[in-house]
């Protein structure tokens, strides 16, 4: 035995002599070891002494499960299971004025490609919007068979029976092009081209298609902090939106004029910040006789 080994032995022996061990400790340790039969233990060093908290393993005892493979390192490129990526996609709906409003929906976007984003947004367009004042101009049983993008044209292949109105077609055009980042839409039905074949559709003018005012953020049902951002858009000759906040009793707790970055016939936008006490409110944005309102909760 070397001088270092002898010194280590004496230090450990002295330390172990200060530990009180309950009578049943050895029995419990043996029982725990017996219960680990699926594992194969490979002793490296067999010197074990007790410490004040538990047994101290001097050296190492390495356990290798015989029925498992080692876990790859953190930077390994091995396969992992993950949920499909989500994207916050623009989806258009029709309001009471038979003009278009826009919501943003977090949706699974497949591989995240423009075609996948278009498919997710159009599918949501056939469903239910957040705001009960909006609706889809398409039958609820419509589905998307396929989507593709070629240059600046997105193609959407639909399934289902529908005779869409002009505003329904524009709802589809604005949704599919916004989600895919294109400007033109080609529609197919059950794999067949429209009439005339190969014809592409484009967005009509905003002043003819979009509602005069949008309350973009916060959206219907949103939960926000006491200080939160408001995002409005409107088509107004004087480039002004009237913003009003009401409490549950209908009392106005905040009101102001908001100046947009441009006036009609373009759609102008503006952002501002409000601070309100915790509670339930209705935020209203008004241009002329058109109001877009959303119920929110401030926490």
Centre a 10 Å sphere on the Cβ of residue 30 and count the other Cβ atoms it contains.
10
Average the pLDDT over 162-183 and give the result.
96
Q: Which of 17-26, 28-37, 221-230 has the lowest mean pLDDT?
A: 17-26
Per-residue model confidence as pLDDT tens digits over 245-275:
999 999 999 999 999 999 999 999 999 999 9
- pLDDT above 80 (res 100): yes
Centre a 10 Å sphere on the Cβ of residue 273 and count the other Cβ atoms it contains.
8
Considering only CA atoms, which of 109, 85, 123, 88 is closest in space to residue 216?
A: 88
Confidence of residue 10 (pLDDT cuts 50, 70, 90): low
Per-residue model confidence as pLDDT tens digits over 112-162:
999 999 999 999 999 999 999 999 999 999 999 999 999 999 999 999 998
Q: Is 221 left (phi over 0), alpha (psi -120 to 50) or beta?
A: left
Q: Do the Cβ atoms of 235 and 264 come closer than 8 Å?
A: yes
Residue 79, pLDDT score:
36
* Domain 212-298 coded CATH 2.60.40.10: yes
Residue 239, pLDDT score:
98
Confidence of residue 191 (pLDDT cuts 50, 70, 90): confident
* Ranges of each domain in the chain: 3-65, 86-208, 212-298
Measured CA to CA in angstroms, residue 290 lies from 169, 234, 248, 287 at distances of 23, 10, 21, 5
Residue 240, pLDDT score:
98
Average the pLDDT over 165-175 and give the result.
97
Per-residue model confidence as pLDDT tens digits over 213-224:
999 999 999 999
Residues above pLDDT 70, as percent of the chain: 70
Does the pTM surpass 0.85? The reply is no
Distance from the first to the final alpha carbon of the chain: 71
Residue 162, pLDDT score:
86
Kindly give the pairing relationship between strand 55-58 and strand 227-234.
unpaired
- pLDDT above 70 (res 200): yes
Residue 116, pLDDT score:
97
């Amino acid at each position: 035995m070397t001088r270092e080994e002898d010194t280590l032995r004496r230090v450990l022996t002295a330390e172990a002599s200060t530990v009180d061990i309950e009578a049943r400790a050895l029995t419990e340790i043996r029982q725990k070891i017996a219960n680990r039969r699926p594992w194969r233990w490979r002793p490296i060093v067999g010197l074990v002494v007790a410490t004040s908290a538990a047994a101290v393993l001097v050296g190492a005892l390495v356990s290798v499960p015989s029925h498992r493979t080692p876990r790859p390192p953190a930077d390994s490129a091995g396969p992992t299971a993950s949920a499909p990526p989500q994207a916050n996609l623009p989806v258009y709906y029709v309001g009471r004025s038979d003009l278009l409003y826009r919501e943003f929906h977090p949706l699974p976007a497949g591989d995240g490609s423009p075609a996948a984003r278009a498919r997710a947004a159009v599918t949501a367009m056939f469903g239910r919007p957040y705001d009960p004042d909006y609706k889809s101009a398409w039958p609820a049983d419509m589905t998307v068979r396929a989507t593709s993008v070629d240059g600046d044209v997105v193609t959407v292949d639909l399934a289902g029976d529908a005779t869409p109105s002009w505003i329904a077609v524009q709802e589809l055009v604005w949704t599919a092009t916004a989600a895919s980042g294109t400007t033109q839409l080609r529609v197919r039905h059950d794999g067949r081209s429209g009439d005339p074949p190969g014809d592409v559709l484009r967005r009509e003018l905003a002043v003819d298609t979009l509602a005069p005012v949008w309350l973009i953020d916060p959206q219907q049902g949103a939960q926000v902090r006491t200080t939160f951002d408001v995002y409005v858009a409107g088509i107004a000759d004087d480039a002004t939106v009237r913003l009003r906040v009401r409490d549950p009793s209908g009392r106005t707790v905040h009101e102001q004029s908001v100046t947009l970055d441009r006036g009609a016939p373009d759609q102008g936008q503006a952002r501002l910040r409000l601070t309100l006490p915790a509670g339930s409110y209705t935020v209203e944005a008004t241009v002329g006789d058109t109001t877009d309102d959303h119920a929110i909760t401030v926490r």
